[in-house]
């Protein structure tokens, strides 16, 4: 039934990833770790989702940070 059992992000929505990172690091630290405007200037989940859905390289960085966070 599970289409992609080897992908640790399978079934996890981008919004959940952003919310988890913000809860863990806060916007300031998140902006330091991944230097993108949607984290550094007037940050919000909505603006971050919009940017990350259009920008694969930034989304990849966010996903990598999330995976390293959950490994801790």
Superfamily of domain 20-53: SAP domain (1.10.720.30)
Taking the C-alpha atoms of residue 1 and residue 38, their distance in angstroms, rounded to an integer, is 36
Residues of the chain with pLDDT under 50: 1
Q: How wide is the angle at C-alpha 55 spanned by C-alphas 51 and 34, nearest 5°?
A: 75
**Whether this model's pTM surpasses 0.95:** no
Instruction: Output the CA–CA distances (angstroms, integers) from residue 16 to 12, 36, 62, 69, in the order listed.
Output: 7, 19, 12, 13
Give the pLDDT score at 1: 42
Q: Which class for 40: exposed (0-12), middle (13-18), buried (19 or more C-beta within 10 A)?
A: middle
2: which 2 tokens?
A: 């599970």
Q: DSSP code of 7? A: -
């Amino acid at each position: 039934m599970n289409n992609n059992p080897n992908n640790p992000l399978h079934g996890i929505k981008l919004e959940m990833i952003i919310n988890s990172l913000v809860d863990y690091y806060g916007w300031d630290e998140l902006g330091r770790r991944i230097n993108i405007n949607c984290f550094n200037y007037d940050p919000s989940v909505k603006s971050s989702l919009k940017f990350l859905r259009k920008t694969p390289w930034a989304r990849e960085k966010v996903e990598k940070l999330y995976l390293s966070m959950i490994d801790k």
